[in-house]
Structure 1
Amino acid sequence: MEPITIEAGKKLINENDPVDSMYVVIAGEIVQQWRGQMLSLGPGTVVGLSDALNHQYEADYTVKETATVIKCNYKTMADFDVIFNEQPVYIFGFAKGAFRQCRDVFKIYDSYKKKVDDFTDYCRGINAEYRKLCRAASMTPVEIPLLEEMEPLELKNEILKWEHDYIDSLNSVDNKEIENIYGKRTEIVNGVIGISCGYMARAIECAETMGFYIEEFSPILLSQDRGDMFELLFNLRIYMAERGIEQDGIIKLMKMLYKYLSTCGIYDKQLIKERWAEYDSHDFAASAAAFDEAKVQKQAEFTQTFEHICEFAEVDEAKQNEYRQQLDDYLALSDREGKEDNERRIRKKAVDLFYDIYRKTFFRALEFEAMGGELDTIILMFLNFGYIDYEAVGEELTYQLADLVERLETLCESDHLFTIYKWLRMVYQADREPSKNELDLDYRGFILEERKSGNIPESEMQTWMNDQEQKVIFEIDNFFKSANRTTSGKMTAFCPVLTKEDFGAEPMRLLLTQTKLMEAMNRIEEVDYGIFLREGYFTDMDTGVKSEAYLKRVEPDIILLPNVGMRAMMWQECGGIKVDSPGRFVFPMFTLDDIDKMMIYCCGAFRWEICRKEQGSRWNDIGSECLTSDFYDYFTFYRKNKDLSAENKEKVKTLLKSSRNNMREAFTKQYTIWINFEAQGSIRLNKAERNILNKHCTFSKAYRAKVSSHPMFEQGISRHEIKQSQALHHLKTIIDKVEKNDGVVPDEVKQGMEYLKM
């Protein structure tokens, strides 16, 4: 083992090379490098020691300062015996080197762990502050998808505290003691080296995992592609400057972000410099002035709102003047919800003119956009909010609504959430079938009735069936008008003309956003996990799978009607003939009411109606053992139910009376109690009601765990879990069978297994 001198800059070992030797450093410095981390190895250390348990080197080793080393052949731990027999003096060096290198690797591990912890805490903290400032400024916060995906990092092989303490204590032991302990006992040294190498391998693996984690989520705060927290705060300050809102809070938060970005050691300094220079040089006063100028220009436009809408809709001048007079008559009423004949007559004319103008504006908008035009703010406010007159709404509310309509796509639209304008477009484009009317007739049924009545000749039937424009007219006349009135809560005195008196607070506070609605829906699904699960059927003839049932989630469509209302409604349980098509819930665009209460009401009604749809004529047949048949039997024969006390029978009687003997209404009230109270272990229902709900609206696993020890739930939960376990086993068997025969199982079917575990 002769000393070897290696010049600075030379690569001693390459990452991924097979482990075949180690090098004792006599003089100079060698750098161990992996994933951007560097560890300095000086005299007394051993190059390659951290890879003693590996087959390949997991780092590059480069000579930083001309080094003198002694090469030791090594492939397995058994080779240490050979090395120590040839050079007993190495025993102490290798032992001490193992402690020291392990300590240094632990320092890198600790540095990464602190960086990750600080990063996740900072991301969540600054996001909370951002949202707080948004609320104060009445601005809807923008979501960063990556932040929503970020979960606390769980390390599988993290270094435990006692392991850390063990290595620290070994490094604190005096050299003579180490020599006395390990001087002649190679088996002890081998063990210590093996333990240290194992620790180092784990620490390096964890450091790499943490590095990947930071790399993945660092764009949350700053990225080349923008859409990051820096941009969100920048835009928030512009928004506040434009509206004359005090900016001290956002300025302070921006400086805090800049300081963190500059000192955390994660971000490119040049990128930080460029983005900060852009922010620091921005003229916020000029933004405010430009906003004010645009506001003045818009004000001139807004004062002619009604005329602008009529001109866009190509309403002729005579009709426009007639409508203007009718609208003025309505707005001049001292009591717009009055019941006098004159008040009713004036209100009806206002209702009729609104929907007539709306229909014309909608079709004109389709035509205008098809030609490449872009709808202006006033038209969008009318189509989405029902805003038709500037004086009726007032200046302040007008500007707030104008601000909202520009952000409406972000706030109130998704794959299953629609404004009425977007919904009618979906119907026109044949992406959704028209809704049923109040007589429970769909468009096809309506056309058939019109044929029977002689209003549509047989020769034109096919044309009417495929006429998308007629479908939209049907949707406006039969769904829009009725649902708009229903969600307003003013069944006899509703007028769709938006006025300032409709609002009891700022529009943004009342707006039903996607976030609010999804949170309300999720709170129900967290309890009643199966509410939107439907049966699908999987077929694979090659493996003999003819028709196997599985569960799939079918989220309902939610349509926002242009009013400030207080009611929500489950309009229909599915969107067409198929049971697995999305149901339809209708909500007011703005509300002061409790969203959770509204959503539970819709979900309860949905539970009832989807069961009726699935069961068909057997919905009240006790032999079908479904939710509606069980409750039908319970409500019909409660007086003869021996399990009910006299007091409980009286409660059922009162329940039915308050529900006007409407069983769906009665069920929905009990369903509300089930979700709000029984799921928390607060007993409010009687045994019969609880057993039915426990059977058909079973709690999710988390909520079952909460009440599983309660004797009133125990038996029902046990039956459910046995049934689910059997279904899960059966579905898994089918999937395994198909995959073993090289068949393809759709992801939706595999997801069905996860639903059975809930």
Structure 2
Amino acid sequence: MEDNIIELKQGEVLLRTNDEIKCLYLILSGEADIYSRYGRISTSAGSILGLSGSLYGLSLYNYVAKSDCILRKFTVSGISDLEKILREYPDMVPDIVILNEHFIMELIKLYLSMMIKCKRKDPSFTPDSRLNKWVLDKHNGIASIPEDIKKAYFGANISNSAGIIIENTEFINLLHEICLDMSELLGINNDYIPKQQNAAARSPVPALTFTKDDLFILDELKGSLDKILDYSEIDDDTRASVTDTFRRFKICSDRLSSDENIRLLRKQITGFFYDIYYKVFIKSINDDAIPSYIYMFLNFGYMDEELAGEEVSVLLYKIYKAGDSLFNNDNIFTMYRWLKLVMSGEKNPSRNNFDQSYEEFIRQEIKNNSIDMPEESALNNCEMKLRFEIDNLFKSANYMTYGRVSTFVPVIIKENIMKNIPDAMLSADSVTDIITRIKEIDFSLFYRSIVYTNEEFGISKLYVYEEYLPEIILTPCIGSRGVLWQEINGRKRNSSARMLFPIFCNPVPENIILNVMGKYRWEICRRIQGSYWNVATEKSLTSEYYDYLLFYKKNKDLSEQQKEKLKSLLINCRNNYSEVFAKDYETWINYESRGASKLNKISRNILAKYCPFNKDIRKVLRSNPIFTDCIDYYERHMLNDRRKYDNLYKVMQTKNIPIPKEIEETRAYYSK
């Protein structure tokens, strides 16, 4: 078989989202599924796969063989090479254009469906202003033309057909971007999930599948709710209320309904959940043999095998058997382990919703006569610390990481599970891998500039860089969002941030983690700059971005199309500048780092200045004219800053003075 002919078996993946597009693939026979977060579209012989991503050089979709396929591979440098492909297969040109139009119509259907759902969820939602109604009408009109007329027109002139497809590709990219935004608002993810993911393969979890041989596990988990209530030792009246509420919830045909009665049941279950959690937690810390259902309750939010479903219950049990190391390391914690560390005094309680530390809260309560004990006793009271952390961090973060405010319930129910539990599992290894990949691009992400003094070596004041990795807590829920809880610990700027993610993640975890990193970039700059965070004369990431977003309409460096795109983005983000920046940061890491131009000149220059790529990426991108100036600007300033550390290093070497590790690390930072 020729080298440029590819055979795919059913279920094989041709391209994944964000893969570099070096080739386009013409389907000669068979069918393929095109997956995205917002839906799936099927296509057949005559379609060109990878075409929509060739505009920026990165695949927009996951392409999976729906049946056995034969494809013709074309090596391309971009979408401009499309006409060469069409001229090689002139007889297929009409079908290629017709299938391209068919893909657009299916995409429009998904768009209209999501727009209706967004309107229902948020009455203030407005359609993206970049999408002109006449373009939708045009494609609807083309769809209504008889097949023979379309074939005659599209086959008459190859150059004309190539131009139509290129114009369609630009429209597909816009519609894809709009649909992604709406899918995030709706909290949906229908993307392709491979049968086995690398992260799952690395974890020590054995055979995460449900088989008939696992029926003994169901026997152990039978009556989990009653067993958890027994363990909690709640009073009889409360127990009767809990049991009755769960009974009524279990018989609901739609547990996520917006019906007032079902909403009230979810609210009652939420109140019971945290009271039971506290009692179970207190008892468990002195229990050397915690039962499986208690571990699953404390770490996963599992309470009832009927609500979770038999298969999910068994899989959660197998994950429990894999041990604590699956979700815990030096910087990543389950909520259960985190609360134990807070109670023991190894970790400080997190700030509350009013941005108060535990110490500030206690002093205020004593001042208001709400606490009747000496200040020192209250500050060191372990159970008060625990209650503070549960009432503030746990309750709020569990709700926030769940992602869908109107249907929140803290207990695992099968209706909330959108993909296989092993695929949704966010292990310590998988989180570490994702953050490592982000740091390989944005090397300075967790570095802080701090003042260093060393009187012994005559250093009175020197700014050095140190890295502070975040503390990451996995909430016991199935969710779709990440949360940046605090960018520093207390008031100390040289401390770690706290971030939270659901222990089972419905969307692609890379997306929610990257979004939180963008928000962290914004908030840590705000914290460091203080009241000057948006003052234009005090140059910083937030001040320059604030100025750019505030006055974009008057910016002569932005085209009308770019202004319209930015206006739509601001509307979608409810004019929240932090959200807008986080979106641009995602684009910066996912696309711009690979040479795909998706940001405008202004935002690109700001990100290049404050979130620089590592030197290997900069070396590759420097030859691209859109990156040359901003990379040169950063490297000039970096070189000037590094000189004083190099000079100090040489002086200390000459005098045989030991080089402090802070100076070594700072020189290494400037070499990245």
2:513 to 595, 599, 604: 599
Contact kept, 8 Å, 1:550 with 1:731, in 2: the verdict is no
2:247 aligns with 328
Letter in 2 for 1:394: G
* Aligned pairs for 1:370-381 within 5 A: 373-381=288-296
* Separation in 1, partners of 2:418, 2:639: 51
Letter in 2 for 1:669: K
Letter in 2 for 1:301: E
* Aligned pairs for 1:484-495 within 5 A: 484-495=398-409
Measured against aligned partners, the alpha-carbon deviations of 1:428-461 in whole angstroms (never above 9, x if no partner) come to 122222222333333233334434544235x533
Contact kept, 8 Å, 2:208 with 2:422, in 1: the verdict is no
1:301 to 220, 239, 245: 220
Q: CA deviation at 1:142?
A: 5.2
2:565 aligns with 651
2:550 to 636, 639, 642: 636
Contact kept, 8 Å, 1:138 with 1:508, in 2: the verdict is no
2:264 aligns with 345
* Separation in 1, partners of 2:195, 2:328: 20
1:423 aligns with 338
1:585 aligns with 499
* Aligned pairs for 1:673-752 within 5 A: 673-738=587-652, 743-752=657-666
Instruction: Go from structure 1 to structure 2 and tell me whether the alpha carbon gap of 1:619 and 1:408 turns closer, same or farther (over 3 Å shift).
Output: farther
Letter in 2 for 1:416: N
Contact kept, 8 Å, 1:552 with 1:749, in 2: the verdict is no
Instruction: Specify the SS of the correspondent of 2:476.
Output: strand
Q: CA RMSD in A?
A: 2.7
1:319 aligns with 238
* Separation in 2, partners of 1:302, 1:469: 30
2:319 is equivalent to residue 401 of structure 1 = no
* Separation in 2, partners of 1:714, 1:240: 50
Letter in 1 for 2:357: D
* Separation in 2, partners of 1:710, 1:658: 31
Q: CA deviation at 1:711?
A: 2.8
Contact kept, 8 Å, 1:539 with 1:545, in 2: the verdict is yes
Letter in 1 for 2:301: G
2:378 is equivalent to residue 464 of structure 1 = yes
Q: Which runs of 5+ in 1 are unaligned?
A: 1-133, 144-231, 246-291
Q: CA deviation at 1:136?
A: 6.3
Higher Cα Rg, which structure: 1
1:504 to 396, 418, 433: 418
Q: How many residues align?
A: 479
Q: CA deviation at 1:734?
A: 3.0
2:444 to 521, 525, 530: 530
1:544 to 449, 458, 479: 458
* Separation in 1, partners of 2:545, 2:581: 8
1:392 to 301, 307, 310: 307
Instruction: Specify the SS of the correspondent of 1:563.
Output: strand
2:669 aligns with 755
* Separation in 2, partners of 1:667, 1:526: 20
TM-score, normalised to structure 2, is 0.67
Instruction: Go from structure 1 to structure 2 and tell me whether the alpha carbon gap of 1:138 and 1:501 turns closer, same or farther (over 3 Å shift).
Output: farther
Instruction: Go from structure 1 to structure 2 and tell me whether the alpha carbon gap of 1:391 and 1:532 turns closer, same or farther (over 3 Å shift).
Output: same
Contact kept, 8 Å, 2:242 with 2:272, in 1: the verdict is yes
Contact kept, 8 Å, 1:557 with 1:583, in 2: the verdict is yes
Contact kept, 8 Å, 1:326 with 1:349, in 2: the verdict is yes
* Separation in 1, partners of 2:447, 2:290: 39
Q: CA deviation at 1:514?
A: 2.1
* Separation in 1, partners of 2:350, 2:260: 32
1:362 aligns with 281
Contact kept, 8 Å, 1:538 with 1:749, in 2: the verdict is no
* Aligned pairs for 1:201-220 within 5 A: none
Letter in 2 for 1:700: N
Instruction: Go from structure 1 to structure 2 and tell me whether the alpha carbon gap of 1:423 and 1:240 turns closer, same or farther (over 3 Å shift).
Output: closer
Q: Which runs of 5+ in 2 are unaligned?
A: 1-193
Q: CA deviation at 1:564?
A: 1.3
* Separation in 1, partners of 2:281, 2:565: 50
Instruction: Specify the SS of the correspondent of 1:549.
Output: strand
* Separation in 2, partners of 1:354, 1:593: 25
Instruction: Go from structure 1 to structure 2 and tell me whether the alpha carbon gap of 1:695 and 1:241 turns closer, same or farther (over 3 Å shift).
Output: closer
Instruction: Specify the SS of the correspondent of 2:567.
Output: helix
Contact kept, 8 Å, 2:208 with 2:315, in 1: the verdict is no
Instruction: Specify the SS of the correspondent of 1:623.
Output: coil
1:560 aligns with 474
Q: CA deviation at 1:468?
A: 2.4
Q: CA deviation at 1:135?
A: 7.1
Q: CA deviation at 1:302?
A: 1.3
2:171 aligns with none
2:349 aligns with 434
Identity %: 34
Letter in 2 for 1:434: P
Q: CA deviation at 1:464?
A: 2.2
Q: CA deviation at 1:624?
A: 1.6
Letter in 2 for 1:597: N
* Separation in 2, partners of 1:297, 1:317: 30
Contact kept, 8 Å, 2:608 with 2:631, in 1: the verdict is yes
Instruction: Specify the SS of the correspondent of 2:478.
Output: strand
